[in-house]
Amino acid sequence: MRLKTFLSALTFVMAISVFWQASVFGESHLNESYLNLVESYDEHKSEQSLTENKASLENTTQVLHELSSSSDKEKSQLGVCENYEIEPNNDRNLADRVSLDCYVYGLITDNYYDLDYYELTITQAGELNIVGVLGSYANYSEYLGILLYDTDENFLAGSSLFVGPDSEAQALSQYVTPGTYYIVVLQTSEYKYLLVDEPYIIQPYMTAGSTNVPVSYVVINEDNTDLKVGETKNVTASIEPSNATNKDVTWSSSNRSVATVDNQGMITAVGSGTTNIIVTTADGQKTDSIIVTVSERNIPVESISVGESEIELTIGSSKTVSTTIAPNNATNQTISWVSNNPSIATVDQGGKISAVSEGRTTITAITADGGKHASVSVNVSKEDDFEQWEPNFDVEVNKTWQVEYNLSLDISTIIQKNIYITDEEGNILPMLYIIDRTKNNSIVQLAPVKDYEQGNTYTMWIKDIKAENGSILNENVKMEFTIKN
């Protein structure tokens, strides 16, 4: 059958295209579709590997270059199969049907966002190659984009620039099975109207004896998993079919602050939380994922100690005992308190010991983790009779108290047991005891190691202070004082 001339066919295409775009689609609709396809093309074009069919691509590229600059008469003398673009073909429902091994002639119409769809039927599995050039002398091929989709509108491949010894073209290679496929041709130049009215030629063909087997899906060989911070776990993935040509995968984590994963699937727990560990195939971008939940690592209690091994209390008084757990970063630091004899002294779960009656008992702290324990011996005696001195108010936070006697003091009686200051809970505060030797050892000063708390009330206790001659200098006394705010 005599072929139409390329020029007349392109003129017809242009006329139909102008009418179609003006009457059927709004310009914004076409522009949006074009931009979406360009984005898909830019995203995937670097994934093409064209080395396997290099020889056939070089040969086809050379032929297309010759065709692009040949006259209609020269083309017809070649006696090859030719298909021509017939507008409108701006979407898959209007796609022009083309055949394998045929040269397809098309045109970038007066709208730079022109999309040309072609329907191609494959009857035998193998490697589909599509090669194309753009421009009257194939001089704009770098701006040609060729995309391949299946009937479910899944993107399969995008072309990349193939550079041969003497010429260049856009090319893609994709393993396909029998079925219908769609080829989309577009221009990708940022100079939008540079290529208007430029012709292009593409040719789809199969490579004989192709052995490429595409990936169907990938599965991680592990269920969702739990890890402690610092733990690791190696996971693997299986690719189907098992004889897929390219089994390369990459691993990633959706939240690297929870867990990371290396290229061998080794997961490392970093911090508490959840993350998705994802495997992605290089062929077809197939994915699978599992959920990894990370919790803090359990650090067991090794021991517990109390701040004092023995305390003295009077009936009605109380004292809070501190504890220390080792290691200090143990996970569970919960403790419970018990009294060996609550009729003598009780203890609450904050470690506050309250004297009930005369006698001696043991108070024990026990850890919830491991049952480690430590004890304090408590001696409870009757409260001495103390004369109440006049209370003081608005006392400075660093107040040093001075107690003056008429006789020289027996320094051995100036001890915490005989002269001390307690807080509102009955805890004895650490004090500095200063004896003024310039005054014949008759003056005692009590200075706080650290400042008193503003607004709190304290009590100073004095008892059993003796003179050097052994006599008791005064009766037991106590004085309350309140720190100013």
For position 69, what pLDDT does the model report? 67
4-35: pLDDT as tens digits: 333 333 333 333 333 333 333 344 555 666 66
Contacts of 236 (CB under 8 A, 6+ apart): 220, 221, 222, 265
Rounded-to-integer distance, Cα 56 and Cα 303, Å: 77
Burial class of residue 329, CB neighbours in 10 A (0-12, 13-18, 19+): exposed
Please count the residues of the chain: 485
93-151: pLDDT as tens digits: 999 999 999 999 999 987 778 899 999 999 888 889 999 999 888 889 999 999 999 99
61: left (phi over 0), alpha (psi -120 to 50) or beta: alpha
For position 452, what pLDDT does the model report? 96
Rounded-to-integer distance, Cα 404 and Cα 296, Å: 59
For position 3, what pLDDT does the model report? 30
Specify the pTM.
0.40
Closest Cα to residue 118, out of 143, 140, 139, 146?
Answer: 146
CA 147 to chain centre: 35
Cis amide linkage into residue 88, ω under 30° from 0:
yes
The single-letter code of the amino acid at 127 is: E
For position 71, what pLDDT does the model report? 62
The single-letter code of the amino acid at 147 is: L
For position 70, what pLDDT does the model report? 66
For position 111, what pLDDT does the model report? 74
Rounded-to-integer distance, Cα 282 and Cα 330, Å: 45
Task: Report strand pairing: 199-207 vs 126-134.
Answer: antiparallel
For position 479, what pLDDT does the model report? 94
Taking 50 as the pLDDT cut, the residues of the chain under it are 1-27, 46-47
Sign of the Cα pseudo-torsion (62, 169, 102, 204, in order): positive
Sign of the Cα pseudo-torsion (261, 267, 272, 273, in order): positive
Rounded-to-integer distance, Cα 481 and Cα 484, Å: 10
For position 19, what pLDDT does the model report? 36
Rounded-to-integer distance, Cα 157 and Cα 144, Å: 14
Rounded-to-integer distance, Cα 60 and Cα 132, Å: 9
Strand partners, 183: 118, 148
List own/partner pairs for 436-439 with CB under 8 A and 24 or more apart: 439/404
